[in-house]
Structure 1
Amino acid sequence: MKSTNPVFSRWGAARDAAPADAHTRHPVGATAGGRPADDYPTNPYAPAAGAGPDAGVRTTRTAITMDDVVVRTATTLGTVALTAVLSWLLLPVDEANIGRSYGLAVGAALIAFVLSMIQAFKRAPSPALILGYAAFEGVFLGVVSSATSTYIAPGVVVQAVLGTFAVSAGVLIAYRMRWIRIDRRFAGFVASAATGFLLLLAADLLFSAFGAGNGLGFHSGGLGILFGVLGILLGAAFLALDFKQVEDAVAYGAPREEAWLAAFGLTTTLVWIYLEVLQVLTILNSDN
């Protein structure tokens, strides 16, 4: 199934590099004909028709495994965690340095965004771009987390990390138990919800920038908690789509390098969930 995650939407761009017989591996719930009931009508990673006489050479490419996804995801998330810790330690948020630290954090966030967009529209995964994104994203998260813990809610970062693990574990269990039906209707609904959510975020930023103070009120009080919970649910939905895309890639025999795209997509989703959990917990702690 084609994911609505902008990262995973690039999956299949290198489908002509996969083994022509990759369709012999099938995901759970395949039909009697061998194809998943709700997914591609044909193997999306098989050589395209008329691929040329060299198509047979491509069949020697190694197919992706779940271990590949786990290793590369651990590497990417480890990079985020390492740079977050280093920025927390090396970029203090005391009164004398908070402006400089915030400036570096905003700069890192912009660089991370640019790198993520470049990778999202590339035909092939680039480990350098993905790890670069992870490193700069970690700098941003480290400064934001340090400032939040120092000035607003001490201890909230640990709670947010545990909350992110809890959400991720819950989605994984629900996905493995097939409590969530991942089909095109689900993907379309998530895409529509994400569009509306991002439009509201953009409107909030515009109102804040042009003198409306607290913007639309999405960062405090009951409305802020509600908006944060919706963000968490949206992130959980994207995580379920990510799991489905990984399962399909393994089942259909995607090229091994596609594991980097899996790591990229999972990392961006987990960062989203962490930030939304951090916002909700910060509001709850600041209101007490």
Structure 2
Amino acid sequence: MALGGNPVFRSKNYREQTRAGGATGAATTTTAQPMSAQALQDLYSQPSASPQQTGRMTYADVINKTMLSLGLVLIGAAIGWQLPMLMIVGALVGLVLGLVNAFKREPSPILIMLYAGFEGLFLGGLSGVFEGMYPGIALQAVLATFSVFAVTLVLYRSGKYRATPKMTRMFMIAMIGYGLFSLLNFGLMMFGAIDGMFGLRSGWIGLAIGAFAVLLATYSLVLDFTNISEGVRRGAPVKAAWSAAFGLTVTLIWLYVEILRILAILRGDD
């Protein structure tokens, strides 16, 4: 059973794509007819089929689409860095596109790329504001984000960090609690009930919550890796690679924002 923490991978859309791939593979197996020795030799002599030819998702396909998505985030971030007033637009449009992509039955490459671009506007504006307050913080956050990603991937590949049903249930409960706290904090800040740049997420409490959120994001990465592996193993259609790339992009953006917030709290206490 595939485990999913990222809403993209838990969506009905991604599950149906994965099941459809496995079902197609099974049908092909049951209807195959015996082949002659010469036919088998000719088959083995042919070059390897590409993902487009097989119609199946591969790791290379997921990597390529993820790199494209992250590249668009960087382009949007470069624009947002120069025009920080676009940060709000990027945040609002990115949120809407994120929800649309997460629950869309079929992945839309155009909508996924638009999401990456608008989220880039938000990240660029946010990073530019913090960079003006704490020089060097943006580079620190980028390096820390990809360091966490690399370590998580290495631990996952080594088998030392795996998703389990019990841990995933605990993760979902923690995510609900974190989401409710974030909404409460945002509401209190909007109505002026609390002061400060981060509201309740200031000082040592903010650092503790930030560290907790980073742990949640790393486990979300493990769930992303698990669902991608399951999709490849079960022969998910090649279009599912876009859903996988979108899911990874969402998690990495979340991780970056949390690390940026932690660094800002630490730098603000200097």
TM-score norm. by structure 1 comes to 0.79
Residue 179 of structure 1, CA deviation: 1.2
Change (3 A) 1:19 1:188: closer
Instruction: Name the aligned partner's letter for residue 232 of structure 1.
Output: V
Instruction: Name the aligned partner's letter for residue 16 of structure 2.
Output: A
SS in 2 for 1:248: helix
Q: Distance in 1 between matches of 2:19 and 2:162?
A: 29
Residue 108 of structure 1, CA deviation: 1.6
Trace 1:75-224 onto structure 2 (pairs within 5 A): 75-89=68-82, 91=83, 101=85, 104-150=86-132, 152-214=133-195, 217-224=199-206
1:10-50 CA-to-partner distances (Å, cap 9, x unmatched) read 212234642536479xxxxxxxxxxxxxxxxxxxxxxxxxx
Instruction: Name the aligned partner's letter for residue 75 of structure 1.
Output: L
Change (3 A) 1:229 1:17: same
Contact 1:63 1:253 in 2 (8 A): yes
Q: Percent identity?
A: 39
Q: Out of 46, 57, 66, which is 2:59 matched to? A: 66
**Aligned residue for 2:8?**
7
Instruction: Name the aligned partner's letter for residue 203 of structure 1.
Output: L
Which of structures 1 and 2 has the larger relative contact order (alpha carbons within 8 angstroms, sep 6+)?
2
Q: Distance in 2 between matches of 1:130 and 1:115?
A: 8
Q: Distance in 2 between matches of 1:251 and 1:131?
A: 26
Change (3 A) 1:19 1:193: closer
SS in 2 for 1:7: helix
Q: Distance in 1 between matches of 2:92 and 2:201?
A: 21
Residue 195 of structure 1, CA deviation: 0.7
Structure 1 residue runs of 5 or longer lacking an equivalent are 25-59, 94-100
**Aligned residue for 2:229?**
247
Contact 1:23 1:251 in 2 (8 A): no
**Aligned residue for 2:33?**
none
Q: How many residues align?
A: 241
Change (3 A) 1:212 1:19: closer
Change (3 A) 1:21 1:14: closer
Residue 221 of structure 1, CA deviation: 1.0
RMSD, aligned CA: 1.9
Residue 105 of structure 1, CA deviation: 1.3
1:192-233 CA-to-partner distances (Å, cap 9, x unmatched) read 111100100011111112222237843321111111111111
Residue 168 of structure 1, CA deviation: 0.5
Change (3 A) 1:208 1:14: same
SS in 2 for 1:141: helix
1:68-111 CA-to-partner distances (Å, cap 9, x unmatched) read 0000000001100111012212x1x5xxxxxxx1xx31122111
Residue 162 of structure 1, CA deviation: 0.5
Instruction: Name the aligned partner's letter for residue 111 of structure 1.
Output: V
SS in 1 for 2:23: coil
Trace 1:10-29 onto structure 2 (pairs within 5 A): 10=11, 11-15=14-18, 17-18=20-21, 20=23, 22=25
Q: Distance in 2 between matches of 1:19 and 1:272?
A: 31
**Aligned residue for 1:266?**
248
Q: Distance in 2 between matches of 1:79 and 1:196?
A: 31
